[in-house]
Structure 1
Amino acid sequence: MTTSARQRVAAFWDAHVEMWLSGGDPLPPPLDCWFDSYKGNGSGKPTRHGFPEPYHGDLLGLEQTPRMVVLGLNPGEYRQKFQSRDGIFAKEIKEEYGSYSRWQTTCPYNRAPWTLPDQMGKNRYYEARLQFTRRWLQEPDADHGDLLIFECYPWHSKAITAPMCPPREVIEEYVWEPIAELPVRDVFAFGRPWDGVAQALRLPLTAKLGSGGTEYGSTVTGRAVRIYSLPSGQRLVTEWHPGSAGPPSAPETEILRNALLRTATGGPSTPRPRAGASGASVPASAERP
Protein backbone atom coordinates (compact mmCIF):
# COMPACT_ATOMS: atom_id res chain seq x y z
CA MET A 1 0.00 0.00 0.00
CA THR A 2 1.32 3.44 -0.92
CA THR A 3 2.44 5.59 1.98
CA SER A 4 0.99 9.09 1.98
CA ALA A 5 3.10 12.18 2.60
CA ARG A 6 1.34 12.72 5.92
CA GLN A 7 2.11 9.15 7.01
CA ARG A 8 5.74 9.49 5.93
CA VAL A 9 6.27 12.83 7.72
CA ALA A 10 4.50 11.68 10.88
CA ALA A 11 6.55 8.46 10.98
CA PHE A 12 9.78 10.42 10.53
CA TRP A 13 9.03 12.77 13.41
CA ASP A 14 7.67 9.99 15.64
CA ALA A 15 10.95 8.11 15.23
CA HIS A 16 13.09 11.21 15.73
CA VAL A 17 11.27 12.36 18.87
CA GLU A 18 11.37 8.83 20.28
CA MET A 19 15.14 8.71 19.75
CA TRP A 20 15.56 12.13 21.35
CA LEU A 21 13.45 11.16 24.36
CA SER A 22 15.61 8.06 24.75
CA GLY A 23 18.72 10.21 25.19
CA GLY A 24 20.00 10.68 21.67
CA ASP A 25 20.36 13.97 19.88
CA PRO A 26 20.94 13.04 16.26
CA LEU A 27 20.75 15.46 13.36
CA PRO A 28 20.68 13.18 10.33
CA PRO A 29 20.05 14.69 6.91
CA PRO A 30 18.00 16.73 6.26
CA LEU A 31 17.75 17.91 9.88
CA ASP A 32 21.35 19.09 9.94
CA CYS A 33 20.88 21.62 7.15
CA TRP A 34 17.44 22.57 8.48
CA PHE A 35 18.82 23.32 11.94
CA ASP A 36 21.71 25.32 10.47
CA SER A 37 19.40 27.39 8.23
CA TYR A 38 18.54 29.76 11.08
CA LYS A 39 21.38 31.70 12.75
CA GLY A 40 19.63 33.40 15.65
CA ASN A 41 21.74 34.62 18.55
CA GLY A 42 21.09 35.97 22.02
CA SER A 43 17.46 35.36 22.93
CA GLY A 44 16.96 34.00 19.45
CA LYS A 45 19.53 31.23 19.67
CA PRO A 46 17.81 27.90 19.00
CA THR A 47 18.10 25.08 21.51
CA ARG A 48 17.96 21.31 21.27
CA HIS A 49 17.39 20.93 25.01
CA GLY A 50 13.71 20.45 24.24
CA PHE A 51 12.22 18.02 21.75
CA PRO A 52 11.53 19.49 18.30
CA GLU A 53 7.93 20.36 17.52
CA PRO A 54 7.36 20.44 13.75
CA TYR A 55 3.56 20.55 13.81
CA HIS A 56 0.61 20.85 16.18
CA GLY A 57 -2.62 18.98 15.50
CA ASP A 58 -3.96 15.74 14.08
CA LEU A 59 -1.66 15.42 11.07
CA LEU A 60 -2.72 11.84 10.34
CA GLY A 61 -6.42 12.47 10.75
CA LEU A 62 -6.53 9.85 13.50
CA GLU A 63 -9.66 11.47 14.93
CA GLN A 64 -10.62 13.99 12.23
CA THR A 65 -8.99 15.57 9.22
CA PRO A 66 -7.88 19.20 9.72
CA ARG A 67 -9.68 21.77 7.58
CA MET A 68 -7.52 24.77 8.47
CA VAL A 69 -3.74 25.01 8.11
CA VAL A 70 -1.78 27.85 9.70
CA LEU A 71 1.99 28.32 9.56
CA GLY A 72 4.17 29.41 12.48
CA LEU A 73 7.82 30.42 12.60
CA ASN A 74 8.98 28.11 15.39
CA PRO A 75 7.56 26.55 18.60
CA GLY A 76 8.58 29.48 20.77
CA GLU A 77 10.46 29.59 24.05
CA TYR A 78 11.83 26.36 25.52
CA ARG A 79 10.13 25.45 28.80
CA GLN A 80 12.24 22.96 30.70
CA LYS A 81 9.42 21.85 32.99
CA PHE A 82 7.39 20.68 30.00
CA GLN A 83 9.73 20.04 27.07
CA SER A 84 12.95 18.58 28.53
CA ARG A 85 13.60 14.83 28.46
CA ASP A 86 12.14 14.47 31.95
CA GLY A 87 9.50 17.16 31.44
CA ILE A 88 5.74 16.81 31.74
CA PHE A 89 5.10 16.60 28.01
CA ALA A 90 8.00 14.22 27.41
CA LYS A 91 6.52 11.85 29.99
CA GLU A 92 3.10 12.15 28.37
CA ILE A 93 4.53 11.16 24.99
CA LYS A 94 6.48 8.22 26.37
CA GLU A 95 4.09 6.89 28.99
CA GLU A 96 0.56 7.86 27.91
CA TYR A 97 0.40 8.34 24.15
CA GLY A 98 3.38 6.44 22.76
CA SER A 99 4.21 8.81 19.90
CA TYR A 100 4.48 12.48 19.04
CA SER A 101 1.72 12.19 16.42
CA ARG A 102 -0.77 10.63 18.83
CA TRP A 103 0.14 13.12 21.59
CA GLN A 104 -0.49 16.02 19.22
CA THR A 105 -4.12 14.96 18.71
CA THR A 106 -4.79 16.02 22.33
CA CYS A 107 -4.09 19.74 21.79
CA PRO A 108 -1.49 19.75 24.60
CA TYR A 109 -0.89 23.51 24.56
CA ASN A 110 -4.56 24.31 25.06
CA ARG A 111 -5.34 21.97 27.95
CA ALA A 112 -4.15 21.16 31.45
CA PRO A 113 -1.53 21.07 32.76
CA TRP A 114 -0.12 23.74 30.41
CA THR A 115 -3.13 26.05 30.79
CA LEU A 116 -3.45 25.79 34.58
CA PRO A 117 -3.17 29.18 36.35
CA ASP A 118 -0.12 28.02 38.34
CA GLN A 119 1.57 26.76 35.16
CA MET A 120 1.62 28.63 31.81
CA GLY A 121 -2.00 29.80 31.81
CA LYS A 122 -4.17 30.60 28.81
CA ASN A 123 -2.50 30.10 25.44
CA ARG A 124 -3.39 33.29 23.59
CA TYR A 125 -1.44 32.30 20.49
CA TYR A 126 -3.38 29.08 20.00
CA GLU A 127 -6.73 30.55 21.02
CA ALA A 128 -6.41 33.33 18.44
CA ARG A 129 -5.80 30.80 15.67
CA LEU A 130 -8.62 28.56 16.84
CA GLN A 131 -10.98 31.54 16.80
CA PHE A 132 -9.81 32.38 13.28
CA THR A 133 -10.49 28.77 12.28
CA ARG A 134 -14.05 29.03 13.58
CA ARG A 135 -14.61 32.32 11.78
CA TRP A 136 -13.12 31.10 8.52
CA LEU A 137 -15.02 27.80 8.51
CA GLN A 138 -18.12 29.69 9.70
CA GLU A 139 -18.59 27.04 12.36
CA PRO A 140 -18.55 28.30 15.98
CA ASP A 141 -18.12 24.76 17.30
CA ALA A 142 -15.03 23.92 15.22
CA ASP A 143 -12.39 22.56 17.58
CA HIS A 144 -8.70 21.71 17.76
CA GLY A 145 -9.20 18.75 15.42
CA ASP A 146 -9.97 21.18 12.62
CA LEU A 147 -6.72 23.16 13.05
CA LEU A 148 -3.22 22.07 12.03
CA ILE A 149 -0.20 24.31 12.62
CA PHE A 150 3.10 23.67 10.83
CA GLU A 151 6.32 25.33 11.97
CA CYS A 152 8.85 26.77 9.55
CA TYR A 153 11.61 25.78 11.97
CA PRO A 154 10.86 23.01 14.50
CA TRP A 155 13.35 23.92 17.25
CA HIS A 156 12.66 26.26 20.17
CA SER A 157 13.95 29.78 20.75
CA LYS A 158 12.70 32.66 22.84
CA ALA A 159 12.72 35.09 19.92
CA ILE A 160 13.51 35.26 16.22
CA THR A 161 16.63 37.38 15.74
CA ALA A 162 17.73 36.43 12.22
CA PRO A 163 16.09 35.70 8.88
CA MET A 164 14.59 32.25 8.47
CA CYS A 165 15.76 30.69 5.23
CA PRO A 166 14.86 26.99 5.45
CA PRO A 167 16.02 24.72 2.62
CA ARG A 168 13.39 24.71 -0.11
CA GLU A 169 13.55 20.95 -0.65
CA VAL A 170 13.08 20.31 3.08
CA ILE A 171 9.99 22.53 3.33
CA GLU A 172 8.66 20.90 0.16
CA GLU A 173 8.97 17.40 1.63
CA TYR A 174 8.08 18.03 5.27
CA VAL A 175 5.54 20.85 4.99
CA TRP A 176 4.11 21.43 1.50
CA GLU A 177 3.66 17.76 0.57
CA PRO A 178 1.61 16.78 3.64
CA ILE A 179 -0.42 19.99 3.36
CA ALA A 180 -1.18 19.13 -0.28
CA GLU A 181 -3.12 16.09 0.94
CA LEU A 182 -5.43 18.16 3.16
CA PRO A 183 -8.83 19.58 2.11
CA VAL A 184 -7.80 23.23 2.14
CA ARG A 185 -7.38 25.75 -0.63
CA ASP A 186 -5.69 28.47 1.40
CA VAL A 187 -2.88 28.12 3.93
CA PHE A 188 -2.48 31.09 6.28
CA ALA A 189 0.61 32.69 7.80
CA PHE A 190 0.28 35.71 10.09
CA GLY A 191 3.00 38.27 10.73
CA ARG A 192 5.36 40.04 8.35
CA PRO A 193 8.31 37.64 8.88
CA TRP A 194 6.40 34.94 7.03
CA ASP A 195 6.34 37.10 3.92
CA GLY A 196 10.13 37.08 4.05
CA VAL A 197 10.11 33.29 4.41
CA ALA A 198 7.86 32.98 1.37
CA GLN A 199 10.29 35.08 -0.63
CA ALA A 200 13.26 33.07 0.64
CA LEU A 201 11.50 29.92 -0.54
CA ARG A 202 11.02 31.62 -3.93
CA LEU A 203 7.29 30.99 -4.01
CA PRO A 204 5.51 32.69 -6.93
CA LEU A 205 3.73 35.86 -5.81
CA THR A 206 0.25 36.01 -7.36
CA ALA A 207 -1.40 38.99 -5.67
CA LYS A 208 -0.63 41.96 -3.41
CA LEU A 209 -3.53 43.37 -1.41
CA GLY A 210 -3.75 46.21 1.06
CA SER A 211 -0.65 48.22 1.96
CA GLY A 212 1.62 48.36 -1.08
CA GLY A 213 -0.91 46.55 -3.27
CA THR A 214 -4.46 46.62 -4.57
CA GLU A 215 -7.02 48.07 -2.16
CA TYR A 216 -9.37 45.36 -0.95
CA GLY A 217 -11.54 47.09 1.64
CA SER A 218 -9.65 46.58 4.88
CA THR A 219 -10.30 49.25 7.48
CA VAL A 220 -6.99 48.62 9.27
CA THR A 221 -4.22 51.05 8.41
CA GLY A 222 -1.15 49.28 7.07
CA ARG A 223 -2.77 45.85 6.71
CA ALA A 224 -1.07 43.91 3.94
CA VAL A 225 -1.90 40.60 2.31
CA ARG A 226 0.44 38.74 -0.04
CA ILE A 227 -0.75 35.63 -1.85
CA TYR A 228 1.74 33.04 -3.07
CA SER A 229 1.25 29.88 -5.09
CA LEU A 230 2.29 26.57 -3.50
CA PRO A 231 3.59 23.64 -5.58
CA SER A 232 0.26 21.85 -5.04
CA GLY A 233 -1.76 24.72 -6.49
CA GLN A 234 -2.95 25.71 -3.03
CA ARG A 235 -2.35 29.29 -1.95
CA LEU A 236 -0.21 30.66 0.86
CA VAL A 237 -1.86 33.78 2.28
CA THR A 238 0.50 35.93 4.36
CA GLU A 239 -1.17 38.73 6.33
CA TRP A 240 0.08 41.39 8.75
CA HIS A 241 -0.43 44.89 9.99
CA PRO A 242 1.76 47.12 12.19
CA GLY A 243 2.03 45.95 15.77
CA SER A 244 0.42 42.55 15.30
CA ALA A 245 1.35 39.06 14.21
CA GLY A 246 -2.09 37.64 14.92
CA PRO A 247 -5.11 36.72 12.79
CA PRO A 248 -7.62 39.39 11.70
CA SER A 249 -10.76 40.20 13.67
CA ALA A 250 -14.16 38.80 12.70
CA PRO A 251 -15.12 41.78 10.45
CA GLU A 252 -11.67 41.81 8.84
CA THR A 253 -11.87 38.05 8.28
CA GLU A 254 -15.00 38.53 6.17
CA ILE A 255 -13.31 41.30 4.18
CA LEU A 256 -10.35 39.01 3.58
CA ARG A 257 -12.63 36.14 2.58
CA ASN A 258 -14.35 38.29 -0.04
CA ALA A 259 -11.00 39.51 -1.35
CA LEU A 260 -9.70 35.96 -1.73
CA LEU A 261 -12.89 34.96 -3.51
CA ARG A 262 -12.23 37.70 -6.04
CA THR A 263 -8.61 36.71 -6.55
CA ALA A 264 -9.26 32.95 -6.79
CA THR A 265 -8.40 31.40 -10.12
CA GLY A 266 -9.61 27.88 -9.46
CA GLY A 267 -12.89 28.55 -7.69
CA PRO A 268 -14.09 30.06 -4.43
CA SER A 269 -11.68 30.31 -1.53
CA THR A 270 -13.87 28.29 0.80
CA PRO A 271 -13.09 25.29 2.99
CA ARG A 272 -13.87 21.89 1.55
CA PRO A 273 -16.37 19.64 3.33
CA ARG A 274 -15.38 17.95 6.58
CA ALA A 275 -13.45 14.75 6.03
CA GLY A 276 -13.51 11.73 8.27
CA ALA A 277 -11.42 11.05 11.32
CA SER A 278 -5.81 15.33 10.19
CA GLY A 279 16.40 40.60 10.10
CA ALA A 280 14.84 42.50 13.03
CA SER A 281 14.32 40.72 16.27
CA VAL A 282 10.81 39.29 16.65
CA PRO A 283 9.97 38.86 20.35
CA ALA A 284 8.45 35.62 21.50
CA SER A 285 5.20 37.44 22.21
CA ALA A 286 4.81 38.08 18.49
CA GLU A 287 4.79 34.39 17.73
CA ARG A 288 3.97 32.55 20.98
CA PRO A 289 2.23 34.77 23.61
Structure 2
Amino acid sequence: MVDSGRERVAAFWDAHIEAWLGGDDHLPLQLEEWFDSYVGVGPGEVTRDGFPEPYHGDLLGLEHTPRMVVLGLNPGEFRPRFQARDGIFAEELKRSGSYSRWATTCPYNREPWTLPHEMGRNRYYLARLEFTRRWLQDPDADHRDLLIFECYPWHSKAVTAPLKPPQAGIEEFVWQPIAELPVQDVFAFGRPWDHLAQALGLPELGRLGSGGKGYGSAVPSRAVRLYSLPSGQRLVVEWHAGAAGPPSATETALLRSALNSDLPMRSADTPA
Protein backbone atom coordinates (compact mmCIF):
# COMPACT_ATOMS: atom_id res chain seq x y z
CA MET A 1 0.00 0.00 0.00
CA VAL A 2 1.23 3.50 -0.86
CA ASP A 3 1.27 5.44 2.39
CA SER A 4 2.78 8.81 1.55
CA GLY A 5 2.12 11.58 -0.93
CA ARG A 6 5.67 11.28 -2.22
CA GLU A 7 5.29 7.56 -2.86
CA ARG A 8 1.89 8.04 -4.48
CA VAL A 9 3.09 10.81 -6.81
CA ALA A 10 6.26 8.92 -7.74
CA ALA A 11 4.29 5.75 -8.47
CA PHE A 12 1.77 7.63 -10.60
CA TRP A 13 4.39 9.34 -12.77
CA ASP A 14 6.48 6.17 -13.00
CA ALA A 15 3.50 4.28 -14.39
CA HIS A 16 2.40 7.07 -16.72
CA ILE A 17 5.84 7.67 -18.21
CA GLU A 18 6.49 3.94 -18.56
CA ALA A 19 3.24 3.65 -20.52
CA TRP A 20 4.22 6.65 -22.67
CA LEU A 21 7.59 5.06 -23.47
CA GLY A 22 5.67 2.03 -24.63
CA GLY A 23 3.63 4.10 -27.09
CA ASP A 24 0.55 4.87 -24.99
CA ASP A 25 -0.56 8.49 -25.57
CA HIS A 26 -3.59 8.28 -23.29
CA LEU A 27 -3.89 10.98 -20.62
CA PRO A 28 -5.33 9.75 -17.31
CA LEU A 29 -8.27 11.72 -15.94
CA GLN A 30 -6.02 13.29 -13.30
CA LEU A 31 -3.96 14.92 -16.06
CA GLU A 32 -6.53 15.99 -18.64
CA GLU A 33 -7.53 19.26 -16.96
CA TRP A 34 -3.91 20.02 -16.10
CA PHE A 35 -2.75 19.49 -19.68
CA ASP A 36 -5.62 21.61 -21.06
CA SER A 37 -4.97 24.45 -18.58
CA TYR A 38 -2.26 26.00 -20.76
CA VAL A 39 -2.63 26.73 -24.47
CA GLY A 40 0.53 28.31 -25.85
CA VAL A 41 1.02 29.44 -29.44
CA GLY A 42 4.10 29.71 -31.63
CA PRO A 43 7.17 28.90 -29.52
CA GLY A 44 4.84 28.31 -26.59
CA GLU A 45 2.98 25.45 -28.26
CA VAL A 46 3.00 22.32 -26.10
CA THR A 47 4.20 18.99 -27.41
CA ARG A 48 3.68 15.49 -26.10
CA ASP A 49 6.33 14.06 -28.41
CA GLY A 50 8.62 14.14 -25.38
CA PHE A 51 7.94 12.53 -22.02
CA PRO A 52 6.52 14.81 -19.30
CA GLU A 53 8.96 15.91 -16.60
CA PRO A 54 7.00 16.76 -13.43
CA TYR A 55 9.99 16.99 -11.09
CA HIS A 56 13.73 16.52 -10.91
CA GLY A 57 15.60 15.26 -7.88
CA ASP A 58 15.34 12.51 -5.30
CA LEU A 59 11.62 12.78 -4.51
CA LEU A 60 11.58 9.51 -2.57
CA GLY A 61 14.83 10.11 -0.72
CA LEU A 62 16.31 6.97 -2.29
CA GLU A 63 19.81 8.34 -1.72
CA HIS A 64 19.27 11.50 0.28
CA THR A 65 16.24 13.46 1.49
CA PRO A 66 16.11 16.82 -0.33
CA ARG A 67 16.78 19.92 1.77
CA MET A 68 15.72 22.50 -0.84
CA VAL A 69 12.58 22.71 -2.96
CA VAL A 70 12.33 25.07 -5.93
CA LEU A 71 9.37 25.54 -8.25
CA GLY A 72 9.73 25.91 -12.01
CA LEU A 73 7.26 26.76 -14.77
CA ASN A 74 7.75 23.91 -17.24
CA PRO A 75 10.55 21.60 -18.48
CA GLY A 76 11.45 23.88 -21.39
CA GLU A 77 12.07 23.16 -25.04
CA PHE A 78 11.55 19.67 -26.42
CA ARG A 79 14.83 18.18 -27.62
CA PRO A 80 14.03 15.07 -29.69
CA ARG A 81 17.58 13.71 -29.50
CA PHE A 82 17.13 13.40 -25.73
CA GLN A 83 13.42 13.38 -24.89
CA ALA A 84 11.69 11.56 -27.77
CA ARG A 85 10.67 7.91 -27.36
CA ASP A 86 13.91 6.85 -29.05
CA GLY A 87 15.99 9.59 -27.42
CA ILE A 88 19.02 9.33 -25.16
CA PHE A 89 17.09 10.08 -21.99
CA ALA A 90 14.28 7.70 -22.94
CA GLU A 91 16.86 4.91 -23.18
CA GLU A 92 18.32 5.97 -19.82
CA LEU A 93 14.83 5.85 -18.31
CA LYS A 94 14.34 2.29 -19.49
CA ARG A 95 17.69 1.23 -18.03
CA SER A 96 16.96 3.01 -14.74
CA GLY A 97 13.68 1.17 -14.39
CA SER A 98 11.55 4.19 -13.52
CA TYR A 99 11.29 7.95 -13.89
CA SER A 100 11.74 8.40 -10.13
CA ARG A 101 15.12 6.66 -10.22
CA TRP A 102 16.27 8.41 -13.39
CA ALA A 103 15.33 11.80 -11.91
CA THR A 104 17.85 11.27 -9.09
CA THR A 105 20.77 11.18 -11.56
CA CYS A 106 20.87 14.91 -12.30
CA PRO A 107 20.46 14.30 -16.06
CA TYR A 108 20.57 17.96 -17.06
CA ASN A 109 23.82 18.66 -15.25
CA ARG A 110 25.90 15.74 -16.50
CA GLU A 111 27.01 14.13 -19.71
CA PRO A 112 25.79 13.63 -22.33
CA TRP A 113 23.53 16.69 -21.98
CA THR A 114 26.40 18.95 -20.89
CA LEU A 115 28.84 17.90 -23.63
CA PRO A 116 29.96 20.92 -25.72
CA HIS A 117 28.61 19.41 -28.93
CA GLU A 118 25.28 18.69 -27.23
CA MET A 119 23.52 21.25 -24.98
CA GLY A 120 26.50 22.39 -22.92
CA ARG A 121 26.45 24.05 -19.52
CA ASN A 122 23.01 24.20 -17.91
CA ARG A 123 22.86 27.69 -16.45
CA TYR A 124 19.29 27.32 -15.20
CA TYR A 125 20.08 24.28 -13.08
CA LEU A 126 23.48 25.50 -11.90
CA ALA A 127 21.99 28.80 -10.67
CA ARG A 128 19.51 26.89 -8.53
CA LEU A 129 22.15 24.50 -7.26
CA GLU A 130 24.36 27.42 -6.25
CA PHE A 131 21.39 29.03 -4.51
CA THR A 132 20.83 25.76 -2.64
CA ARG A 133 24.41 25.83 -1.38
CA ARG A 134 24.16 29.46 -0.36
CA TRP A 135 20.81 29.08 1.37
CA LEU A 136 21.82 25.95 3.25
CA GLN A 137 25.27 27.46 3.93
CA ASP A 138 26.73 24.19 2.77
CA PRO A 139 29.21 24.34 -0.14
CA ASP A 140 29.07 20.54 -0.40
CA ALA A 141 25.32 20.41 -1.08
CA ASP A 142 24.70 18.65 -4.40
CA HIS A 143 21.92 17.55 -6.72
CA ARG A 144 20.56 15.17 -4.09
CA ASP A 145 19.71 18.16 -1.88
CA LEU A 146 17.71 19.98 -4.58
CA LEU A 147 14.23 19.00 -5.70
CA ILE A 148 12.54 20.95 -8.51
CA PHE A 149 8.80 20.68 -9.22
CA GLU A 150 7.29 22.02 -12.45
CA CYS A 151 4.02 23.94 -12.52
CA TYR A 152 3.25 22.43 -15.94
CA PRO A 153 5.08 19.15 -16.70
CA TRP A 154 4.93 19.17 -20.51
CA HIS A 155 7.45 20.69 -22.89
CA SER A 156 7.30 23.97 -24.78
CA LYS A 157 10.08 26.27 -25.95
CA ALA A 158 8.53 29.29 -24.22
CA VAL A 159 5.51 30.21 -22.11
CA THR A 160 3.30 32.42 -24.27
CA ALA A 161 -0.03 32.22 -22.42
CA PRO A 162 -1.09 32.32 -18.78
CA LEU A 163 -0.40 29.20 -16.75
CA LYS A 164 -3.57 28.29 -14.91
CA PRO A 165 -3.03 24.84 -13.43
CA PRO A 166 -6.00 23.31 -11.60
CA GLN A 167 -5.77 23.74 -7.84
CA ALA A 168 -6.61 20.06 -7.31
CA GLY A 169 -3.76 18.95 -9.56
CA ILE A 170 -1.19 21.17 -7.87
CA GLU A 171 -2.46 20.10 -4.46
CA GLU A 172 -2.18 16.40 -5.30
CA PHE A 173 1.04 16.37 -7.32
CA VAL A 174 3.03 19.26 -5.83
CA TRP A 175 1.85 20.55 -2.44
CA GLN A 176 1.16 17.14 -0.86
CA PRO A 177 4.60 15.63 -1.57
CA ILE A 178 6.32 18.87 -0.56
CA ALA A 179 4.43 18.78 2.75
CA GLU A 180 6.33 15.61 3.67
CA LEU A 181 9.76 17.14 3.17
CA PRO A 182 11.78 18.77 5.98
CA VAL A 183 11.74 22.27 4.49
CA GLN A 184 10.12 25.39 5.88
CA ASP A 185 10.52 27.57 2.80
CA VAL A 186 9.80 26.64 -0.82
CA PHE A 187 11.26 28.99 -3.44
CA ALA A 188 10.01 30.22 -6.81
CA PHE A 189 11.89 32.71 -8.97
CA GLY A 190 10.28 35.04 -11.51
CA ARG A 191 7.16 37.19 -11.39
CA PRO A 192 4.90 34.61 -13.10
CA TRP A 193 4.97 32.64 -9.87
CA ASP A 194 3.44 35.59 -8.02
CA HIS A 195 0.49 35.48 -10.42
CA LEU A 196 0.33 31.70 -10.04
CA ALA A 197 0.31 31.86 -6.25
CA GLN A 198 -2.63 34.24 -6.38
CA ALA A 199 -4.45 32.17 -9.01
CA LEU A 200 -4.01 29.09 -6.81
CA GLY A 201 -5.62 30.95 -3.90
CA LEU A 202 -2.61 30.87 -1.58
CA PRO A 203 -2.96 33.26 1.37
CA GLU A 204 -0.42 36.07 1.27
CA LEU A 205 1.73 36.37 4.40
CA GLY A 206 3.86 39.39 3.67
CA ARG A 207 5.81 41.52 1.20
CA LEU A 208 9.47 42.47 1.17
CA GLY A 209 11.48 44.76 -1.06
CA SER A 210 9.75 46.61 -3.90
CA GLY A 211 6.13 47.18 -2.94
CA GLY A 212 6.67 45.90 0.58
CA LYS A 213 8.81 46.17 3.69
CA GLY A 214 12.44 47.08 3.06
CA TYR A 215 14.98 44.51 4.18
CA GLY A 216 18.28 45.93 2.99
CA SER A 217 18.34 44.71 -0.60
CA ALA A 218 20.58 46.79 -2.85
CA VAL A 219 18.36 46.08 -5.86
CA PRO A 220 15.48 48.60 -6.01
CA SER A 221 13.36 46.36 -8.24
CA ARG A 222 13.73 43.23 -6.12
CA ALA A 223 10.37 42.04 -4.82
CA VAL A 224 9.65 39.17 -2.46
CA ARG A 225 6.18 37.84 -1.78
CA LEU A 226 5.44 35.30 0.92
CA TYR A 227 2.52 32.87 0.73
CA SER A 228 1.23 30.14 3.00
CA LEU A 229 1.06 26.62 1.58
CA PRO A 230 -1.69 24.25 2.74
CA SER A 231 0.89 22.40 4.86
CA GLY A 232 1.86 25.56 6.75
CA GLN A 233 5.14 25.76 4.87
CA ARG A 234 5.97 29.08 3.24
CA LEU A 235 6.26 29.85 -0.46
CA VAL A 236 8.87 32.54 -1.15
CA VAL A 237 8.45 34.16 -4.57
CA GLU A 238 11.31 36.45 -5.67
CA TRP A 239 11.90 38.48 -8.81
CA HIS A 240 13.73 41.57 -9.99
CA ALA A 241 13.99 43.55 -13.21
CA GLY A 242 15.89 41.92 -16.04
CA ALA A 243 16.23 38.47 -14.54
CA ALA A 244 14.22 35.56 -13.17
CA GLY A 245 17.02 33.69 -11.42
CA PRO A 246 18.00 33.29 -7.77
CA PRO A 247 19.63 36.17 -5.87
CA SER A 248 23.39 36.58 -5.45
CA ALA A 249 25.27 35.43 -2.36
CA THR A 250 24.99 38.86 -0.70
CA GLU A 251 21.30 39.16 -1.52
CA THR A 252 20.65 35.60 -0.36
CA ALA A 253 22.16 36.40 3.03
CA LEU A 254 19.93 39.48 3.34
CA LEU A 255 16.85 37.47 2.42
CA ARG A 256 17.70 34.69 4.87
CA SER A 257 18.13 37.23 7.65
CA ALA A 258 14.79 38.86 6.81
CA LEU A 259 12.90 35.58 6.69
CA ASN A 260 14.40 34.44 9.98
CA SER A 261 13.55 37.72 11.70
CA ASP A 262 10.33 38.60 13.49
CA LEU A 263 8.78 39.80 10.26
CA PRO A 264 5.08 40.54 10.82
CA MET A 265 2.97 37.98 9.02
CA ARG A 266 -0.73 37.97 8.29
CA SER A 267 -2.98 35.50 6.54
CA ALA A 268 -5.88 36.26 4.25
CA ASP A 269 -8.20 35.52 7.18
CA THR A 270 -6.52 37.98 9.53
CA PRO A 271 -7.72 41.60 9.44
CA ALA A 272 -4.95 44.01 8.41
TM-score (normalizing by structure 1): 0.90
Q: Does 1:213 align with 2:222?
A: no
Q: Give, as a single letter, the amino acid of the residue that structure 2 aligns with 1:15.
A: A
Amino acid at match of 1:243: G
SS in structure 2 of the partner of residue 126 of structure 1: helix
2:199 matched to 1:222?
A: no
Where do 1:111-260 residues align within 5 Å?
111-260=110-259
What does residue 65 of structure 1 align with?
A: 65
Distance in 2 between residues matched to 1:132 and 1:215, nearest whole Å: 22
Pick closer, same or farther for the CA change 1:90–1:233 going to 2, 3 Å.
same
Matched position secondary structure for 1:30: helix
* Contact kept in structure 1, 2:78 and 2:155, CA below 8 Å: yes
Q: Which runs of 5+ in 2 are unaligned?
A: 266-272
| Separation in structure 1 between the aligned mates of residue 108 and residue 27 of structure 2, nearest angstrom | 26
Distance 1:169 1:32 in 2: 12
Identity among equivalent positions (%) equals 73
Deviates more, 1:26-35 or 1:223-232: 26-35
Partners of 1:141 and 1:79 in 2: how far apart? 31
3-state SS of 1:212 partner: coil
In 1, Cα distance between equivalents of 2:171 and 2:262: 24
Q: Which runs of 4+ in 1 moved over 3 A?
A: 263-266
Contact 2:45/2:156, CA 8 A, preserved across alignment: yes
Do the aligned partners of 2:206 and 2:264 also contact (CA within 8 Å) in 1? no
Task: Give the Cα–Cα distance (whole angstroms) in 2 for the partners of residues 179 and 135 of structure 1.
Answer: 21
Three-state SS of the structure 2 residue aligned to 1:62 is coil
Indicate the SS of the match to 1:113. Answer: coil
Report if aligned partners of 2:14, 2:98 keep a CA contact under 8 Å in 1: yes
Give distance in 1, aligned partners of 2:253 and 2:163.
30
In 2: Cα distance, 1:162 partner to 1:202 partner: 19
Local SS of the residue matching 1:195 = helix
How far 1:264 sits from its partner (Å)? 6.0
Aligned residue for 1:78? 78
**Cα distance in structure 2, aligned partners of 1:22 and 1:263:** 53
Deviation at 1:39, TM superposition (A): 1.5
Q: Distance in 2 between matches of 1:192 and 1:238?
A: 8
Q: Which runs of 5+ in 1 are unaligned?
A: 267-289
Alignment partner, residue 31 of structure 1: 31
Q: Match for residue 56 of structure 1?
A: 56
AA at the equivalent of 2:189: F
Letter in 2 for 1:165: K
TM-score normalized by structure 2? 0.96
Please provide the CA RMSD for this pair.
1.2
Q: Paired residue for 2:88?
A: 88
- Superposition deviation, residue 231 in structure 1: 0.3
For 1:218 and 1:24, the matched residues in 2 are separated by 50
Which amino acid in the other structure matches residue 32 of structure 1? Answer: E
Q: Equivalent residue for 2:5?
A: 5
| Structure-1 residue corresponding to 2:44 | 44
C-alpha spacing 1:155/1:265, structure 2 compared with 1 (3 Å): same
Residue 127 (structure 1) shift: 0.2
Q: Kindly state the Cα deviation for residue 30 of structure 1 after the two structures are TM-superposed.
A: 1.5
1:27-56 deviation per Cα after TM superposition (whole angstroms, max 9, x unaligned): 111110000011111111111010000000
**Helix, strand or coil: the match of 2:105?**
coil
Determine if contact 2:66/2:145 at 8 Å carries over to the other structure: yes
Opposite residue 47 of structure 2, the aligned amino acid is T
User: For the Cα contact (< 8 Å) 2:2–2:8, is it kept in 1?
Assistant: no
Report the counterpart of residue 270 of structure 1 in structure 2.
Answer: none
In the aligned structure 1, how far is the partner of 2:37 from the partner of 2:262? Answer: 33
Look up the equivalent residue of 2:32 and give its one-letter code.
Answer: D
**How much has 1:265 moved relative to structure 2?**
7.8
Which stretch of structure 1 is more off in the superposition, 110-119 or 255-264?
A: 255-264
How far is 1:2 from its partner?
A: 5.5
Aligned length: 265
